[in-house]
Amino acid sequence: MASRILLPILLFLLCSHGGSGAPAARRGMRVPPLGGDPVKFDFSPFLIEYKSGRVKRLMGTDVVAASADVLTGVSSRDVAIDPANDVRARLYLPSFRATAKVPVLLYFHGGAFVVESAFTPIYHAYLNTLAAKAGVLAVSVNYRLAPEHPLPAAYDDSWAALKWVLANAAPGTDQWLSQYGDLSRLFLAGDSAGGNIAHNLALRAGEEGLDDGARIKGVALLDPYFQGRSPMGADAMDPAYLQSAARTWSFICAGKYPIDHPYANPLALPASSWQRLGCSRVLVTISEQDRLSPWQRAYYATLRSSGWPGQAELYETPGEGHVYFLTKLSTPQAQAEMATLVAFINRN
- The residues annotated with a catalytic role in the active site are 192
Q: What is the dihedral of CA 81, 82, 86, 91, to 10 degrees?
A: 0
Residue 81 region by backbone torsions, left for phi larger than 0, else alpha for psi between -120 and 50, else beta: alpha
Q: Do 231 and 242 form a contact (C-beta atoms < 8 A)?
A: yes
Q: How would you classify the pairing of strands 279-287 and 311-317?
A: parallel
| Residue 293 host element (H or E) | helix 293-305
On whether the CB atoms of residues 302 and 266 are closer than 8 A, the answer is yes
3-class DSSP state for residue 33? coil
Cis ω before 45 (30° cut-off from 0):
yes
SS3 percent helix, strand, coil of the chain, rounded to 5, is 40, 20, 40
Tally the C-alpha atoms within 13 A of residue 176's C-alpha that lie toward its C-beta: 22
3-state secondary structure of 348: coil
Q: Give the pairing of strands 47-50 and 39-43.
A: antiparallel
Give the separation between CA 149 and CA 254, rounded to whole angstroms: 9
- 117, 109 in Cβ contact below 8 A? yes
Q: Three-state SS for 121?
A: helix
Distance between first and last Cα of the chain: 38
Q: Where are the strands (E) in 1-70, listed by range?
A: 39-43, 47-50, 55-57
Are 193 and 263 spatial neighbours (Cβ–Cβ below 8 Å)?
A: no
